[in-house]
Every structure is written in C-alpha cells, then in structure tokens.
Structure 1
Amino acid sequence: MTGRLYLVPAPLDFGCAEQAPLQDAVPLGTLQIAARLSHWICENAKSTRAYLKRIDGVVPLATPLQQQVLTELPREVHKKGDHGPGFDATPLLAAALQGQDIGLVSEAGMPAVADPGSSVVRAAHALGVAVVPLVGPSALLLALAASGLNGQNFAFVGYLPQEAEARTARVRELEALALRTGQTQLCIETPYRTETLRRALVQTLQHNTRLAIATGLTLGQASILSQTVKVWRQHGTPLPDAPAVFAIGR
C-alpha cells in the first residue's frame, strides 16, 4: 500500500515578532496527524524544524525531531513557482510509494496555495498517492472573508511588480478588471515592502475603488481595514512590517 500526502497548514506568524499559541491557530486534529509523520516535503527545512518543535510542545512527535526526514523543494521552485511544466516532483514521493505517509508544508498557511507545492500534489495524483488536505489557516481566505468585497468571484494574482512603472500599469489593469466584472483581486507582498505597496495602491487607484488590507492575521495585533481609496488617502496610516494581503474591488 502507498502512503498518503498530507497538506499540513502552518500558522501565519512566520517572520513575525509575535507568535500565536499554536493550538489557537491550527486545529488539534491537524496537529495530531502532523505529530505522527516522519517524512516531509517543505519550503524551508529550518522553519519546518521550528514548526515541528512547536507541534511537539502540544502533541509529542512520534519520531524525534533529529530523526525527521525533511526534503526541501528546489530553490528555483520558490522563485518561479511550480504550477507549470518544467519541474518533476515525482522523486520526492518515493517514500510514499514505500508506504510512508508524507507531509507537505510551507512556511505559512496552506501549502500549494499562494506558496509552492502544487507540483508535489500533481505528482501524487499521477502516482496514485492519496492527497489529504488538513484544516488550518489560509491568509487569502481570511482576508477575503473580512474584506466585504466579492467573495463569490475573486482571483489571486500573487506579487505585483517591484518596478514603479510596471507596478502602476499592473494595478490599473487589475482595477479595471475588478470594476468591470466585480471580481475581487487579491495580492500579497513581503513584510518589508507592504508600506511601499500600500502607498502605490492609494496613489494609483481611483478614489471610489475599495481597497482592503489585512495584516498580522490570527495574531493579537491583527488589522483588517476595508474602505474606499478616498478614505485611505485621508486617513491612511503606515503599515507595520508584517505579512499582508491586499484586496481590490468595488
């Protein structure tokens, strides 16, 4: 019998000064399954070990941390994404073909959603390895639900260009799509560039367009603000250096 591939969500506090109590962010059932796994495919081995240490504080690991087998996705997968052809994740699932259950984990949130991992999931389906998504936090869905924007029709567009002219063009393109179709446009930014993106959006978007920004989700200092760009221009305050989700809509 083959093992299963478990998609294990991680808390959203990666890179944050504050860490939420793990059992408040991730359901106990998810932690119990994660605690019995010994093979992992991960975005970063160091952060995965830190996560496993936190799990061990709630549910003792069946396999000691030093004996856990952690396999990192290649660095080029992080940079270019793994949702298209060009990367074969089949070798990463060798243990599953030998009967071992494997966990797929990213640094924060749900693996393969706004994070690498889709190639591993595709390979599992091709090999006949059962894929089991576990319950846990997803920053995109939490931000969308709290935005007041259209949750029936939305798109995640990843990171916006860093270069100012290209970013402005992309923002206007996304805004036109949102206003024409009603489709909410979601994007993210790294913590140290969130304020730069906030300023760019406020400067570029039309004054009646609605902009929602969610930072520090699931943490004590979480902030979720949704208002027209006109109001952002009047009362907008700088964002903290924290993971953020931006939503554009009407």
Structure 2
Amino acid sequence: MAAGKIVSVSYWPAPLAYFEDLPKSKATYKELTAAMKEAAIHIRDSHPQTIVILSRYRYTLRDAIGYSPQPRLRGALQPSGGAPITLGMETDDFFNHVMLRLGERMGIPLVSILDHMPTISTDDYFLHHTATIPLHFLGEEGLGNKQIVRLTMGRLSYEELYTFGRLMQMAAQQSGRRIAVVGSANLLPARLVNQEDVSVDKNIALMNALADCRPQALHELGYPVEDEYAFRTAAFVLGAVSGLKAAVQTHHYSTISGQSYGLVQYAIP
C-alpha cells in the first residue's frame, strides 16, 4: 500500500452569519472570505484523498469523540433570500476503521454517534455548519468529490485531544491515505466586563499559539468558561501538525460585529 501522510492541517472559522446574510454581508466579510478561499486553494494543492473534519459547534459527548458511520453525509447552508447551498460527501469507512483501531490502542475513546442517541440531537445525522462552511469552500476549489471522516468533538482534556491529533498522523500512514485535517470553531464570543471585552486577549493568544505551534500555551490560557470548544479544537489541530515541520501559509484574525474569527493554514512538506 502507498505510504499515507497528513498533507494539510488547518483551523477554520465557522461564520454562519456570512451565509445567513448574503449578499449584503459580502463587503463586511471580504477579508475573511479571501482567507478561507486562500486556505481552500492551499488544501487543494496538497492533493488530499480524504478530509477529516469536525462537525458540531456545541458539545454533545462529555467523555468521548464521536464519529459518523453513515456511508454518505449531507449538509446545507441557507443564504438569506437565496437558494440553499447543499453538499453531500462519501465517508471513508476504511480510514474510520484504522482510526478506531488506533483509538483503542492509545486509549482515546471513539464512539459512533448513531449508538449514542438521544444524547446527541437528531440534527447530528447531518453535517453541521462547522463542517459545511469549509467543505463549501473546498468544493469551490474542486474538492467536492473527496471522501470525508466526520468527527464530533467531546469534552476531553487538551492532552487527550492533542494525542488524538497525533493519532491522525499514524492513521494516515497505516491507511495509505493523503489526509487533510480541518478543525473548525469560532473563537471565544465577546464577553463584556465593565464595558471591556475580556475575551479579545485570549483569542489573540490562541491565534499566536496556533501560529507558533505551542500547545503548552493552551494550559496557560486554561479552560475558558465562555466557550471551551475553540481551545479544544486547537489542541486537536496542534496534535495533528506536531512534528511535521509545518509552516504557516495563512494566518487571519478579525472581529466583525463583535464576533472574532481566526484561521490558520499550515503547509506540510
């Protein structure tokens, strides 16, 4: 079997408001849109066979990572006053099996989301906008026919999620697949204390930690009570890129209407 490897790792924003408010939001989100298109082009040029992607913004599992066993997954975005943007992608079942076998060996709990209903909403049968937004941009660059492995984040520690990112490297090698890892999550929402947004400094520190590949910075930031998902996604992404001599190709940070958005795309030799 051909040698597999991680060929791309990225941390994406999930700006659902962009799609809900098209076309008038185009000017507002111009720089963010350009960054997402740039990242999609870099991912396309890395020639992945399978895209590993997160699909859920809120926690649904406290002590495990969920995976989707369905052979085909669908998602949709609804622009205001426009036709729905829909997509459907096949699941890489072989990579799922390799990932599960390694998870058992390394002590990372992985469970089928279909076996954990009704803990998870029936909405999770479909791709969440955290997945459909990057997949939409990737589809525009010609990657709409790739297979995916869809994951649902759990409330695990930074160490466990970092280890799970490292597991992706081993799964890529053992499966023989060229893998693009896409972690997607909005940054911490604005939290005003005495009319000052106390989340901004943590968001900037997180973006710097991603750019510098410094997972230890997450412990310095702690587990923010406002929204922990962004930081756990970062731990997973940093694990996936660890040791790969990656270089940052795209690094975007912006605040639009009080919401912070960040994107980091790594090039891997």
Look at both structures and tell me which one has the larger radius of gyration over its CA atoms: 1
Q: TM-score range by the shorter chain?
A: 0.3 to 0.5
Higher relative contact order (CA 8 A, sep 6+): 2
